[in-house]
Each structure stands twice: as structure tokens, then as C-alpha cells.
Structure 1
Amino acid sequence: MDNIFEVTITPLDTVFFRDAKPFTMGDDSWGNGLFPPAPSVLYGAIRSAYLYQHPHILEEKLVDTDQDPSKSIEVIGINLNYENSDLFPLPLDLVQDKNRIEVVRSNEVDRKRKKKRYLNAKLLDRGSLEENFRGLKVGNILTGGVDKDVERIVNGLIDLESLEDYYCYGASEMKEGVDVYTLDQFLFEEPKIGNQSARTLEREEDRALYRVGFKRMHKKLSFKLQVKAKEDFLLLDKSFVRLGGEGKLAKIKVEKPEEEEALDLDEAEFKILLTSPAFFDNGWFSQELADAGFELITAAVGNPVAIGGFDLAKKCPKPLRKAVPAGSVYYYRGSSAAAIKDFFHGRKSLCTAKSDQKQGYGLFKLAKI
């Protein structure tokens, strides 16, 4: 029987997660990274840790067979955690007024490590004109108002308390401003400079310097996952796993989570907030929701994220795919509140591929408009 576990992964050293851009030492001097990492990176880390605790699965070549209990591992929640406060991607329909930004400042170290920057985040007003939105006709557009000059908050994060206000009460009852974190408050650049080894080159003059963008996470910042797995998954508690570029160590904590209350939707209009990148069969747009009878009202969608990886079983790179980024928001209209509840009951991911669902892609939260 599968159970739900809360898994906290805390790096003990710098981290580096490759993005999808090709990097060849000598042609490029800088290797770019992606933070937070793709859900498949964290899924792979905890599955590897589980297999390490059960070496017979590898020794008897049972990986991915019916006798492999690690196949049952499914990521159903992903977020960052800072000082026991869960942080999620800032919904892209929350913006800041360009002309009125209040920032709480102290000395530089405290601002980086402890202080939240207060940004005057506002909900975008919905217009009423029909527009052609990325190839689709939608009934409304999102605007900042006639006299508002607004912009998105880059790499914004929102804590769970503010997020619950966002999806439980809707725009009309949310306070005007919310506390917003940004990723740069928790990450410290520690680039690594290397020299391509002459042993791999035919000529000494072909040696090339390169830099890799390693980052050191704040010591109180960690990755937090909700995982569905077998009961013996608790064996991973207080264990270690190698994470990211160069396989730096990270510690694992496993515990049983508190039960989360489901959102009580009582209207036919609702929002979907992506909390992890999602792959849809129709690009940025979910054809499955359209086929289920849900009408897209409008959307706030970020730029696509290119996600690849390496297939250890096949010993080759995985195909590069573009995902809708976390924080993207979709406004929908259903036939009734009951129809919405029936469709989303027990559903954790909006992806249609089972492999994507298991790895934690397409995770979402329902919200009131």
C-alpha cells in the first residue's frame, strides 16, 4: 500500500543544475544553470537514494521491473522551504507597480539572509474585450488597469500563508500588497573556474578556461517534496544523496505530512496555478481541459523552459522538450462547481503522460477568481 511522505532535501555544499543550453569548453566560457532544478532531478535523486538502501534491486537487475518497488515512487508536491515556511512560485497574475515599490532594507547581509522584500504586488484587472491570445480566442485579457504601469516580479516566491489567501479567497478579498521573496535573497554565487585538461586534447594550445555557475543555497533553504511511496520509504530518513553537478552531498529527512484541506469551490469560474513546470500535448494550452468542457477565459503564461536530461538506462541524452513554467496561471469556466470537483478529484498533475506525472511535472493548485 502506498503512503504519503514529506521529504526534505538540504544540500551540504554548492549546487549546480544544468540547463538545456549546450556547453562545450573552448567554444563557451560559461556554463549556465537552472534553479530551482527540474522536478525530474529531485525525483531521480530520491529514487537513487531508495535504490541505494535496497542494493539487491541493482544487483539482481530488477530496476524498472515488477519487482522494483522504486517504480511506485511518485512526486505529488514540490516547493522550496525556508525556516519551516513553504515557498511557491509567485503567480504570474500578481505584479508590481513600476512607480511604487517599497523595499525593507537593512545591511546587505541581513537583506540577503533574513529580510523579505515587500513589493506592492497587485492582482491584474480583467478586461472585457475579446483578444487573440497566442493563437486562441479568449473572452478576457489581463491588464494593469487604464492608468497602471506594472511589471512582473522576476523569480518571485510567495509563502504558503499568502498563497492560501490567493487561492482560497480570490482577488476581491485579497489584501492589496503581499510579502514576496525573490530567489536572489537565498542564493549566493560561487562560480567554479576550471581548465580543460591537456590530457584530453591533442595540442597544448587547445586548452580552455571555463566557468560553471555553482550556487550556495542559504543554510536554512531546502527542497521539499511530497512523495507517494511504499512504507519502507521511511528508511531514507537521515540518509544522504548526491545532487546536481559533481554529485555534491545533500541530507534527506523523511516524515509523515499533515493532511491538507481541499479547496471548496462554489462557483463555475476558477483558476489553475502551476506549481511545477508542465508538459501539454498542445504547447502552452491543455487540450485535455478543453475536451473536458472547460472554457479558457484568459491566462498569464511565462516563457517556456527547455528541459532535457540524461537517460542512464539508454546511456544517451533525453529529447529536449519545452515546458510551461511554474507560476503560470489559467482562468477557466466550467459548467458547474460540481463538474469541476468531479474532474479534479484525486488529480495531482495536469500532464497526460504517466512518466511526467510520476516525476512531479504539471503539479497545480486550484484557486478562486
Structure 2
Amino acid sequence: MSEIRHWRFDPLDTWFFREARGFETSGHNELSSLFPPPARTVAGAMRTLIGEHSGVDWPRFLEGEEYAELRALIGAGDSLGRLELTGPYPLWQGERLYPVPLHLLGKDRNYRFLEPGDPVLCDLGPVRLPRIKNARQDPLPGAKPLEQAWLNGADLQRVLGGQPPNGVIATQRLYVEEPRLGIARDNMRRTGRDGLLYQTRHLRPHPELAIGAETRGLPAERYPESGVMRFGGEGRPSLVRLSEALSDRLPAPLIQGPNLLLMLLTHADFGSGEECWRPPGFEPIERDGTRVWQGDLRGIGLTLECAVIGKAAREGGWDLARECPRPVRSLVPAGSVYFCTLADGIDVDMAIKALHGQHIGQDIALGRGELAVGTW
């Protein structure tokens, strides 16, 4: 019987989760670290620890018949087998943090919300673009989306219910950045290699910061014990601890309106092309001279009225199975929000139960496309 486990990665050194650019394409610019780490990086660390717990001889793993059962459980290459991931996400003082929804604007601890505006003619046709709610009565010049900030569960619940948070946690509180300079080595000659200098920017986490994730799909005996392993770029050590699933799961939404607000808690993969910004299955229609998008998510009929989407998240990495770079993909970033109305006959409670905490799009086994539901 499969069980759910919570994983916690505590740093014993710096972290480095390389951005999508390669060293050979970076020129004189340094490579930064992503945060939180890409889902494949975390999934790879988990599979490595599970395999070592089972005594895997890795050169034989892909072909050996003795590992057929384990391959079915944790997969090989791009496949995760039966393993399913939720996250990854920051843990701060033992509590999960959530990205700030992008329809919340802030300046000097004052906040404003975006809402669907009147139809405007643009490259998508006549569509409803976001506008600041009550901007004329209560302006806040200079307010902007809080892309480098986080919320705890209680404040996420407030924001998704249309209420301002009690406070946000800036990324600068979680870690400091450390620039590094290195040179490629010639291990045979024990010298540096000419012209192969590189610069990276590591993350030095504060003591109360960790990376969390949850997995399901494995029997209890396959899960490893806690231990130390190499994690992320340059193989920096981290302490890995496993426990029962967190009791304080995704907070229940506050119902403050008749319409649905969908927020991405993790990056989502909606495919490629010009319409990769919208969830799969949504098609444009004309309604009263305005373009909207109709679709169905897990049996809930929705009309997409307006969206607030951040800059594309770029993820690549190294494919260990094929020993080559992994193709870089553009993902819809966490924090993006979709303003939706419900089809006739569907009430808000029904929609929330069907969608809150679910995953949409491609690669959901990697934790992509995790949803939180609010109202407007």
C-alpha cells in the first residue's frame, strides 16, 4: 500500500540550482540560482536516495532485471513511475510558504488588488484586461506585483478571499546571495584549464529555511531513512529528513464572492505555442462582443474572463540518462491567477471541492500546476 511522505531538505552548505542558461552561453555574466529549486532537481534527489536505500548498482539500473520492480516505482529518465510529487516549496520556521498571487499589488506595506476591467481592444482582440480595484477612490501610485515575496498559509487564505495580508515575507529574509568564481579543472594534469573561468551566484540560506515536498505512490518499505546527500549544483550537502505528511495542508479558501479565482502555487506546463498561457482545453468564444475562453477543469465548467500572468519561468537542466542537456521549457510561473466565472448549475462550494489543491496541465507527477482556489 502506498503512503504519503513529507521530505525536508536542510542545507549544510550553500545551495546552487542553476538557471536555464548554460555556462558556455553566459559570456561574462554570472549564472544565478533558481529558488525554489526546479521540480526535476528535487525529484532526482529523491529517486537517488530511494535507490541507494534499496542498494542499487546504478550502472545496471536501466537494464538489470533485478531492478524491474524499482524502475516501475520510481521510473527511469523522464518517467517517474508511480512516484508523484507535491511541491517543491520553501519551509520557513517549519511552515510552508506560498508565492504571493500576482493580482496583489503592494508598496510600503499597503496593498491593492487587480480585477477584470472593461473590454479593451488589443492583440488578443476585445478582451478584459486587469485593472486596479477602486483605483480612483483609493489610489496607490507605484504599487506593483510582489514577485519576490511569500505568504504563510493564513495570509494566503486572506488574499485569496480578497483581503490584504497581515504581512509578506521578502525573499531577502530567507537567504543571502554569494558570488563565486571558479575555473574548470584538468583532473589528469591537476591544473586549471585555460580560458574556462566561470561565475556563479550561490544562495546562503538562513538557519530557519528548508525545502519541502511531499511524495506518494511508494510502499512504506521503499522510503529511505533520514541522511545526508548531495543536493543541487556542485553537489553541496543537505540533510534530508522524512516524516508523515504535514497536518496543515493547503488552507481552505474563504468564500467572499460568487466567482472563482484560480492561482498557481507551482509552475505549470500548458504546452507550447501562442496560447500556452491558458489552461488546456479552454477555447476562445465571443460573448457580447468580448473574447473569453470556455473550458472544463475536473468536471467544472468555467469561463476564463481575465488573467494576471508573470514572466515565463525557464527550466532546463542536465539529462543524466541521456548524458545531454535537457531542452529548456517555458512554464507559466507560480503566482499567476485566472479570474473565472462558473457554468450554470455549478455552485462555488462544488467548484472549490473539485479544484482546490489539484494539479492541472502537463507533468503533474512533478508537482506542476498545483492550484489554490479563491473567490472574487
State the TM-score, normalized to the length of structure 2. 0.79
Report 1:339-354 matches (<5 A): 341=351, 344=354, 348-351=358-361, 353=362
Query: Percent of aligned pairs with the same residue?
Result: 22
Q: Is the 8 A contact 1:6 1:227 kept in 2?
A: yes
Separation (CA, whole Å) in 2 of partners of 1:134 and 1:3: 48
Match of 1:365 in 2: 372
Q: Is the 8 A contact 2:310 2:332 kept in 1?
A: yes
Separation (CA, whole Å) in 1 of partners of 2:39 and 2:128: 33
Are 1:181 and 2:188 an aligned pair? Answer: no
Letter in 2 for 1:297: E
Are 1:269 and 2:259 an aligned pair? Answer: yes
Q: Is the 8 A contact 2:158 2:254 kept in 1?
A: no
Match of 2:217 in 1: 229
1:205–1:254: structure 2 CA closer, same or farther, 3 Å change rule? Answer: closer
Letter in 1 for 2:118: L
Letter in 1 for 2:269: F
Instruction: Indicate the RMSD between aligned Cα atoms, in angstroms.
Output: 3.2
1:90–1:84: structure 2 CA closer, same or farther, 3 Å change rule? Answer: same
Q: Deviations over 1:285-311 (max 9, x none)?
A: 113254324211211110101111222
Q: Is the 8 A contact 1:5 1:229 kept in 2?
A: no
Could you tell which deviates more after superposition, 23-32 or 326-335? Answer: 23-32
The alpha carbon displacement at 1:165 in A equals 2.1
State the TM-score, normalized to the length of structure 1. 0.81
Q: Secondary structure at the match of 1:179?
A: coil
Report 1:70-149 matches (<5 A): 70=74, 71-97=81-107, 101=108, 119-124=109-114, 126=115, 128-132=117-121, 135=124, 137-139=126-128, 141-143=130-132, 145-146=135-136, 147-149=139-141
Are 1:326 and 2:334 an aligned pair? Answer: yes
Separation (CA, whole Å) in 1 of partners of 2:26 and 2:98: 37
Q: Is the 8 A contact 1:8 1:225 kept in 2?
A: yes
Letter in 2 for 1:291: G
1:139–1:188: structure 2 CA closer, same or farther, 3 Å change rule? Answer: closer
Match of 1:317 in 2: 325
Q: Deviations over 1:200-222 (max 9, x none)?
A: 99xx9943533211111112100
The alpha carbon displacement at 1:37 in A equals 1.5
Q: Is the 8 A contact 1:299 1:331 kept in 2?
A: yes
Match of 2:295 in 1: 291
Separation (CA, whole Å) in 2 of partners of 1:64 and 1:219: 38
Could you tell which deviates more after superposition, 208-217 or 221-230? Answer: 208-217
Count, aligned residues: 339
Are 1:163 and 2:156 an aligned pair? Answer: yes
Q: Secondary structure at the match of 2:211?
A: strand
Q: Secondary structure at the match of 1:162?
A: helix
Separation (CA, whole Å) in 1 of partners of 2:65 and 2:337: 41
User: Which runs of 5 or more residues in structure 1 are unaligned?
Assistant: 102-118
Separation (CA, whole Å) in 1 of partners of 2:23 and 2:66: 31
Could you tell which deviates more after superposition, 283-292 or 339-348? Answer: 339-348
Match of 1:28 in 2: 28
